[in-house]
C-alpha cells in the first residue's frame, strides 16, 4: 500500500522556521557587545581586550560565509541549514563553557563561521517558495528574526547575563539554535542534493562585477548604522544626559525601526529593487547627519535612531539584488552578503572610534556614518551606470543582429 503524500507546509511556517535561526544569530551578534562588562572580569581581561572577542566572531562570519557556501554547494539546502545550525549551537554552547580568554576567541571565531552561509541559504529557500515578485518580502521575513532579536533576544540575553551569569547569555543562543534545527527539520521543504552544482561554479560569482558592486554597497553603506549603534550607549550617557535605565529603551526603539523597515521596504523593493536601495541609503545618510543635533534630546534621538534602524532594511534588498546578478552561483553570492555586512560592522565602529579619539566627540559618529552611507550611494550610482551601459550594448547588438 502506497504511503499518503506528505502535505506541503504552509509557506509562512517555513519562513518562521528560517527566521528563528536569524533570531538566534541576531541575539548572539548584538548581545555579545552588551555582555562585555560581565565576561571580561570573568575571563580575567579588561574590556578593550574583551572587544577582540566580538572581532573574532565578525572574522568568522567573513571567512565562513564563502567557505561553507562553496563546500556545501551540492548538498540539499534543508540538510545544509540543519548542519549550519548544529555548528552554531555547538560553538555557542562551547562559548558558554570557555575556560580562558584564548579559548573564548577560538569559540567565537568558530561560532561566526555558519552565520553568513545560514542567512544566505535561508534567503534562497524562502525566496524559492514565493513568486518572483514577492522575493524581497520573503527575504525580509527571514531577516525579521534578526531584527526582532534586537528587541527581545538581546535584552533577554543581557538580563540572563546580569542575573545568572554571562555564560547563560551564550547558552540561551545554543538552545535557540537547537530549536531552529528542529523547526527546519520538521517544516522546511525536503529538497534533493544538487550534483549539477559545483564548488567551482559557485566561485564564478567572484568574476561578476555587479556582485562585487552590490557587496560594496553593503560593506560601505551599512557601515554608518554600525558606527552609530556601537557608541549609542555612550552618547546617551555623555551627551544626552540620561541614566543607564534609558539605554534599553533606546536600543529597543532602534530594533523596532529595523523590524518595521524589514516589513515595509521589501514590498517596494519587489516593485523597484534598486530605487528602494537608493532611498534607504539616502534616508540613512539624512538621519545620520541629523544625529549630532538630535543627540541633545532623548525623544529626538529616539526618533532619529528609529529612522537609522528603518534604513537597515537595506540588507534584505541587497540580498535580492544578489539573486538577480549572481547567475547560477546563488549560494556563494547570497552568503557573501553577510560577509559584506560584517565588514561594515568592523569598518563603521573603527572609523567612528578614530573620530572620537581625535577629539571630535561622541556625536561625530553621525557625520562619519553619513559619509559611509553616501559612499554606499556612490557605489550604487556606479552599479546603475555599469548596468545601463551593459543594457545599451546588448540592445545595440540585438538591433545589429
Per-residue pLDDT tens digits for 30-59: 777 667 777 888 888 876 677 778 778 888
State the CATH class of domain 198-401. mainly alpha
Q: Quote the pLDDT of residue 3.
A: 46
Q: What is the distance between the alpha carbons of residues 166 and 92, in angstroms, rounded to a whole number?
A: 12
Q: What is the DSSP letter of 97?
A: T
Sign of the torsion formed by the C-alpha atoms of 285, 286, 292 and 298: negative
* Angle at CA of residue 151, ends 47 and 92, nearest 5°: 55
Residue 279, CA atoms < 13 Å, CB-side half-sphere: 14
In CATH terms, 7-197 corresponds, of 1.20.1250.20, 3.40.50.2300, 1.20.120.1810, 3.30.70.270, to: 1.20.1250.20
Q: What is the DSSP letter of 312?
A: G
Between the alpha carbon of residue 34 and those of residues 100, 126, 204, the distances in Å are 19, 31, 39
Cell matching residue 332:
556563494
Name the residue ranges covered by the structural domains of the chain. Answer: 7-197, 198-401
Q: Is 103 helix (H, G, I), strand (E, B) or coil?
A: helix
What pLDDT tens digit does each residue of the chain (401 aa) get? 444 445 667 888 999 999 999 999 988 887 776 677 778 888 888 766 777 787 788 888 888 888 888 788 778 889 999 999 999 999 999 999 999 989 999 999 999 999 888 988 898 888 888 887 888 888 888 888 888 887 888 777 777 877 888 888 899 999 999 999 999 999 888 877 766 666 666 666 677 788 899 999 999 999 999 888 878 888 888 899 988 778 878 888 988 898 899 889 888 888 888 999 999 999 999 999 999 999 999 999 999 999 999 999 998 899 888 888 877 777 777 778 888 888 888 788 888 888 888 889 889 999 999 999 999 999 999 999 998 887 777 666 666 66
* Angle at CA of residue 124, ends 119 and 126, nearest 5°: 90
Residue 74, classified by CB atoms within 10 Å of its CB into exposed (0-12), middle (13-18) or buried (19+), is middle
Assess whether the region 7-197 and the region 198-401 belong to the same CATH fold.
Answer: yes
Q: What is the pTM of this model?
A: 0.81
Amino acid at each position: 500500500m502506497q504511503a499518503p503524500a506528505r502535505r506541503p507546509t504552509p509557506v509562512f511556517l517555513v519562513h518562521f522556521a528560517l527566521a528563528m535561526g536569524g533570531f538566534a544569530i541576531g541575539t548572539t551578534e548584538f548581545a555579545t557587545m552588551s555582555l562585555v562588562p560581565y565576561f571580561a572580569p570573568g575571563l580575567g581581561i579588561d574590556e578593550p581586550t574583551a572587544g577582540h572577542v566580538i572581532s573574532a566572531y565578525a572574522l568568522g562570519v567573513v571567512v565562513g560565509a564563502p567557505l561553507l557556501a562553496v563546500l556545501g554547494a551540492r548538498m540539499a539546502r534543508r540538510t545544509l541549514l540543519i548542519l549550519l545550525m548544529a555548528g552554531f549551537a555547538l560553538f555557542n554552547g562551547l562559548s558558554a563553557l570557555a575556560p580562558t580568554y584564548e579559548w573564548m576567541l577560538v569559540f567565537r571565531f568558530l561560532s561566526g563561521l555558519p552565520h553568513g552561509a545560514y542567512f544566505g541559504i535561508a534567503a534562497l529557500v524562502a525566496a524559492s517558495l514565493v513568486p518572483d515578485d514577492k522575493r524581497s518580502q520573503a527575504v525580509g521575513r527571514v531577516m525579521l528574526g534578526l531584527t526582532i532579536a534586537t528587541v527581545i533576544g538581546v535584552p533577554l540575553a543581557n538580563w540572563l547575563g546580569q542575573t545568572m551569569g554571562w555564560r547563560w547569555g551564550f547558552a540561551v543562543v545554543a538552545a535557540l539554535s537547537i530549536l531552529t534545527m528542529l523547526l527546519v527539520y520538521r517544516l522546511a521543504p525536503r529538497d534533493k542534493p544538487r550534483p549539477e552544482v559545483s564548488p567551482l561554479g559557485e566561485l564564478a560569482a567572484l568574476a561578476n562585477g555587479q556582485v562585487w558592486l552590490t557587496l560594496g554597497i553593503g560593506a560601505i553603506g551599512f557601515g554608518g548604522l554600525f558606527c552609530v549603534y556601537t557608541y549609542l550607549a555612550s552618547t546617551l550617557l555623555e551627551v544626552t544626559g540620561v541614566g543607564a535605565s534609558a539605554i534599553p529603551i533606546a536600543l529597543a526603539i532602534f530594533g523596532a525601526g529595523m523590524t518595521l523597515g524589514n516589513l515595509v521596504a521589501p514590498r517596494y523593493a519587489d516593485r523597484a529593487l534598486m530605487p528602494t536601495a537608493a532611498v534607504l541609503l539616502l534616508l540613512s545618510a539624512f538621519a545620520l547627519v541629523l544625529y549630532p543635533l538630535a543627540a541633545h534630546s532623548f525623544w529626538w534621538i529616539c526618533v532619529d535612531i528609529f529612522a537609522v534602524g528603518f534604513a537597515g532594511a537595506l540588507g534584505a534588498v541587497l540580498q535580492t539584488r544578489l539573486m538577480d546578478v549572481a547567475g547560477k552561483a546563488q549560494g556563494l553570492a547570497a552568503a557573501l552578503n553577510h560577509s559584506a555586512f560584517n565588514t561594515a560592522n568592523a569598518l563603521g565602529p573603527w572609523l567612528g572610534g578614530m573620530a572620537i579619539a581625535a577629539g571630535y566627540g561622541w556625536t561625530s559618529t553621525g557625520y562619519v556614518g553619513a559619509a559611509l552611507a553616501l559612499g554606499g550611494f556612490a557605489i550604487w550610482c556606479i552599479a546603475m551606470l555599469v548596468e545601463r551601459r551593459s543594457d545599451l550594448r546588448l540592445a545595440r547588438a540585438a538591433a545589429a543582429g
